[in-house]
Amino acid sequence: MKQYILITGASSGIGYEMAQQLAALKYNLILTARNEDKLAAMQQELSSKYGIVIHYIAKDLSKTEQATQLFNEIQSSNYQVSHLVNNAGFGDYGNFLETSLEKELNMIDLNVSSLVILTKLFAKDMVARKSGRIMNVSSVIAYLPFPYQSVYSATKAFVLAFSQTLAAELEGTGVVITTLAPGVTETAFISPEMRETNLLKSNKLTSAKTVASKGVKLLLHGKGKKIVGFQNRFNSILAGILPDPVMMKIKMKLASAKKL
């Protein structure tokens, strides 16, 4: 049976770059996202360039039933998923009292619920085969929850806690769960409002290609978690040392668009 790496959120940003790099390494891929045209173009390009098998299945994973449908469609097509990358996700920026509740509930469904559904369904299968790897994409924000991104920060803290504990539960089963924690990365994820914040103005964004290459290494060979970038690793340690009120004051300034 042919084996595949399943990537969610493969149509742009970090997921797109991971697909490019894994295809160059000759892995067969199943790509998913909402934008079917982009996925079809990637299938054309990557299969003819690298002579690999690429399937795509368009799904809106903010609708949790579509996560189950994705699993069922893959099973009934007899595609064996050796690696799963739970990468699809989005954030929002703004005062919690003014942001859209509907958008935030969709965010929780995509970033958390569908990730849990896909992990449960594919992990069961992988454990039965005594082999498999799942990489969940969290964020450095899981260590440094940011004001004006309260719900997003919480979703990524969930992903980190979930992945670390599940990794321990599955130790010795042949299934490895890892967590990728990127810092600010140049993708469509960064909204114009985010670009106006002191954090973004005072930081050089990492390229999606660089983050993807760390992700590919972690997915294929790594264990545990990978915080991408020295500064992000340093900041995550600092967050554990500095008192919370001091840390939150710094983050309030960084998260604001007012001049420091």
Name the residues that contact ligand NAP, by CB under 6 A.
Answer: 9-15, 33-35, 59-62, 87-91, 110, 137, 139, 182, 184-185, 187-190, 208
Q: Which residue is nearest to ligand NAP (CB)?
A: 13
| Closest CB 186 distance from ligand NAP, rounded Å | 7
| Closest CB 175 distance from ligand NAP, rounded Å | 21
Instruction: Identify whether 143 is a catalytic site residue.
Output: no
| Closest CB 153 distance from ligand NAP, rounded Å | 11
Q: What is the DSSP string of the chain?
A: --EEEEEESTTSHHHHHHHHHHHHTT--EEEEES-HHHHHHHHHHHHHHH---EEEEE--TTSHHHHHHHHHHHHHTT-EEEEEEE-------S-TTTS-HHHHHHHHIIIIIIHHHHHHHHHHHHHHHT-EEEEEE--GGGTS--TT-HHHHHHHHHHHHHHHHHHHHTTTTTEEEEEEE--SEESTTS-HHHHTSHHHHTSPPEEHHHHHHHHHHHHHH--SEEE-SHHHHHHHHHHHHS-HHHHHHHHHHHHS-S--
Q: How do strand 132-137 and strand 29-33 relate by DSSP bridges?
A: unpaired
| Closest CB 97 distance from ligand NAP, rounded Å | 23
With respect to ligand NAP, which residue has the nearer C-beta, 132 or 182? 182
Catalytic site positions: 152
